[in-house]
Structure 1
Amino acid sequence: MGTIRAVLFPSIAPRAVENFVTHAQDGYYDGVTFHRVVKDFVIQGGDPTGTGMGGESIWGDPFADEFSDALHNYTGALSMANSGENTNGSQFFIVATPADSVSAKLGGQMEEAGWRSEVISAYQQAGGVPYLDHKHTVFGQVYSGMDVVEKIAGVDVEGENDKPKKDVVINSVTISTYDEAAASSAAG
C-alpha cells in the first residue's frame, strides 16, 4: 500500500531495536501480514503465522520491556506488541489514532494523574494512546508514510481479532541510516 519510514531509538530501547533490526535484516518480516487492524487505534504485524499468536525474538525467548519517559505511544509510534509484562517477541504495532484522539478531558485526567505537561501537550497535538505507555515498549516513530498507516488502518476487517478481510502484506523491511534532512523534507 506504500512505504512507511520510521526512526528507531537504540539508545533508549536497545533490545527492542536490535530484535527488530536483526529480524528485518534476516528477512523475517518479508511477506508477513498486518494481522490485526483496528481503525483509529493500531495496525499490528510481525507474526509469521499471521494469527497474532506466533513469532519469537531473535534470542528465542521473550525479552524484557524497555520503558522510558522519553518515548510515548503518540500517533505513529512503533511499539512492541506483547501478551503481558516482559513478553516481547517479534510482533509490533504502529499507533494509528487521529491527531485529535486525546481530548481536553483526557488531558485533564492525565494532569490529575501526574503526567508531565510537555507529554500531555504532545499527546494533545499529535494524538496517541496514553494508556499503552509503560505497557508496550516504544522503539521507533514514523516520520514518513502516515498516510499509508491510515490507509492500512481503514481496511475492512472481520472477526473478534480484527483480521483484514484481504491480506495486507509487508513486502520487506529495510534498515538504513536515518538522515534528518531527508526526514524533514519527507515529513513535509
Structure 2
Amino acid sequence: MKGDRQGHRGADADDLSAWQRYTRDVRRLGSSARPQALQPLQPVAPAPQLPPRPKAPAVPAVVVAEQKAPGIAPGLDRRTLANLRRGRIPPQATIDLHGMTQAAAHRMLSPFVVRAQADGKRCVLVITGKGYGTEGAIGVLKTAVPRWLNEPPLVARILGFCHAPPALGGEGALLILLRRLRPRMDEI
C-alpha cells in the first residue's frame, strides 16, 4: 500500500497532472510573488431598450368561494357530511341529466338548483350517469357537473355535495346540500 502511493492519497497520475495544470497560476497569500495586474474591462454596449410593456387592465377583485369536491365540503360539519354521504338526508327534488348533451345539461342544472333553493329545499339529487360507454372512459357529465357546481352562480348556493349512496345512484349521481336562504330584512 505504501509503495504505490504517488504523493497523495488515492490520486493517480492523471489526477495529479490535471490538478497541476489547474493550479499552476495559484500563488500563496503573503508570498513575495504578486498576481498579475488585472486587465481593465472593455465597455459593454448597452442593451437595446425594449418598448414598455402595456399595463394590464385593472381587474376588479373577485371573491372566489372555496372549491368543493365530492366528499369534501369546507364549512360543513362532519356529521352533516356523513349523513349526506349515507343518504340519511333524503333528496327533496331530483333532476336526471343522464343521456343529455353537455350543453343541454348545463342549461338545465342552474335553473333547477336556483328553483330548489328558492322553494326552501335543502337536499337535491342530480343524476349524471356513470358514463361507462366506452372502455375506460369517464362520463362527460360525471366530470362536468362537479365543475359547474364550483362555478358562479351555483357555488354560492351550495353548501356541499357528494356522490350518492348506491340506493340513489352511487357514482352516477350527486347529492347536493343547498344553503338556506336567509329572509331579507324587509320581509321580516
Q: Tell me the TM-score normalized by structure 1.
A: 0.24
> Which one has a bigger Cα radius of gyration?
2
Greater percentage in strand: 1
